[in-house]
Amino acid sequence: MDRNDDQDRQDGNGDGNDGIADRPGPRLTAEELAFLLRDPAEQARKAERSARANHARTERRHSDPSYAERLRVADRERQRRRRVRAAIGRPDMPEPPAVPLPDLSTADAAARLIDHLGRDNSPQAVQLRHRLERIRDYAEGFTVYRALAAGGARPTRGAMAAMLRSRFGRTLTASQIQKLRDHIEGFAAPGGPWHAESGEFDRKADRVGHAFPPKRP
């Protein structure tokens, strides 16, 4: 055997591959391996099952309000868990303070709100001024918010829901409590009917120009 041939064989150059066959290739990740080994037919079946499930869920959401509310609650809970995970290691955010509310009874809070809506010509006020059940909800929410905010902390939705149920027999969802609390705080802003520094309420003022017409039988 030629000495040069033997040397080429030892160096891995004799077959012209320059030793490449003996070199380890790049390792595949688990995701890449799963992608290469996937079954296209099974992927299509999974996509079809997912589409059918989404369609059925959408149809039921439209036809079943209680089911739709459960989905919303579950979605809010998932979002809450994501926020909790994202907040790990971050400093705790201080709780917002409660907005100050004037010392009014439930009836006086409703009367002041009615008077305010009579003066406000915005589309929202015009729509709300004739919905006495909504005004009652806000007035009861005012009383609950003020009682719970006595310590200075903003009332939680759970605490408001519990007191509305025990004191007024009202049962509201978490989203309804959220909107109610936001509206109460909005009415307590400067210029609003429940601003704490707006002065004493006088139901006789501007009665002629701003009173509602009597309800027809």
Please tell me the total count of domains within the chain.
2
82: containing domain:
31-86
pLDDT tens-digit profile of 52-83? 888 888 888 888 888 888 888 888 888 888 87
At residue 70, the pLDDT reads: 86
Dihedral pair phi/psi, residue 113, rounded to 5°: -65, -40
Closest by CA position to 104, among listed 134, 149, 152, 139: 139
Q: Are residues 187 and 120 in the same domain?
A: yes
Q: State the CB neighbour count (10 A cutoff) for residue 7.
A: 11
Instruction: Establish if 15 belongs to a structural domain.
Output: no
Residues 21, 47: Cα–Cα separation, whole Å: 41
Q: Are residues 80 and 114 in the same domain?
A: no
Angle, CA 90 vertex, CA 86 and CA 96 arms, to 5°: 95
Q: What is the pTM of this model?
A: 0.52
Contact between 188 and 194 (Cβ < 8 Å): yes
Average pLDDT over residues 113-123: 89
Instruction: Establish if 92 belongs to a structural domain.
Output: no
At residue 112, the pLDDT reads: 94
Residue 78: which residues within 8 A CB-CB, separation 6 or more? none
Dihedral pair phi/psi, residue 17, rounded to 5°: -90, -5
pLDDT tens-digit profile of 13-35? 545 455 545 555 567 787 777 77
pLDDT tens-digit profile of 141-186? 999 999 999 888 899 999 999 999 999 999 999 889 999 999 999 9
